[in-house]
Amino acid sequence: MITIARQGTFRITMTKLTRKQQIDKQAAVLFKTKGYAASSMRDLAQVLGIEAASLYSHIKSKEEILRRICFRMAEAFFTAQKQIESLHSEPKLQLKKAMAVHLKVIAGSVDEAAVFFHEWRHLSEPYLSEFLVMRTDYERKFIAILEQGIATKVFRAVDAKLTAMTILSAINWVHRWYRSDGKLSIEQISEQLAEMMIRGVKS
C-alpha cells in the first residue's frame, strides 16, 4: 500500500494524478461541501468531465471512495503519531508535538480531513466499527499524555479524557478555515494552540 507521506509528496511535486486519484480528490472536495449523502455520482462525474457510468471503470462503488478517504487519513494520523512516540519527551513537549503533527496532517489534506471528521458515519459495517476503534485508539494517546503529565505533577489534576478531547476538538476545528495561503502558517497556528492548551493545563 502506498503511504500517505509518499502520496502527499506526489501530489505536490506533480499535477499528473491517475484517474482514480482524481476521483478521490474531487470526491473529497464534493463530500466536504455537500456532504456524502447529498453528493451524487453524477455530480462527481460532471466535475471530472465524464459520464457517471464511466466512474465505475475506476471504482467499485460510491462508498469505496469514502472508505479510501477515511482510512487513508486514519493511516496518516497514525503514522504521524508513531513518529513522535519514539521521542520519549516529557509530557509538555510530547503534547506540543502530538498537536503539531496532527495539525500538519490536517493542513496537508484539508478536504480529506473534512470528510474524515464528518462523513465517516456513512461507512457501512464492518468498516464503521473498524474506523471507530482506530479513532478511539488514536485519542487514547492524547489521554495517556495528559495522564502522564498529571501523574508527574507537570499538569494540574484535570479530567484527562475531557481535556484530551477538548484539545483534539480545538485542533480538529482548524480544518474548517485553514488555507495554505492564509495569514497564519500551520506552524504558527500550531504554536499558538499548543501555548494556549499547555498554559491551560500546566500546574
Partner DNA sequence: CCTACCGATCGGTAGG
Q: Contact residues for DNA (CB under 7 A)?
A: 19, 39-43, 45, 48-54, 56-58, 60-63
How many Å apart are CA 49 and CA 51, to the nearest integer?
Answer: 7
Grid coordinates of 72: 487513508
Cell output for 189: 497556528
Name the grid cell of 128. 464503521
DSSP letter for 153, please: T
Three cell numbers, residue 59: 471504482
Least distance from DNA to the Cβ atom of residue 139, Å? 30
- Which of DNA, its own copies, none is residue 199 near (CB under 5 to 8 Å by kind)? its own copies
Chain Cα centroid distance, residue 43:
24
144 binds its own copies (CB under 8 A): no
Task: List, in sequence order, every residue forming a beta bridge with 202; answer none if it has no partner.
Answer: 155
Task: Find the shortest distance in angstroms from Cβ 184 to its own copies.
Answer: 7
The site string for its own copies over 3-42 (x = CB under 8 A, - otherwise) reads ------------------------------xxxxxx----
As a residue count, the chain comes to 203
Q: CA–CA distance from 41 to each of 46, 55, 72 (Å)?
A: 9, 8, 21
Looking at the Cβ atoms of 56 and 177, the one nearer to its own copies is 177
61 binds, options DNA, its own copies, none, Cβ within 5 to 8 A by partner type: DNA
Contact residues toward its own copies (CB under 8 A) are 33-38, 118, 121-122, 158-159, 162-163, 165-166, 169-170, 172-173, 177, 184, 189, 192-193, 195-197, 199-201
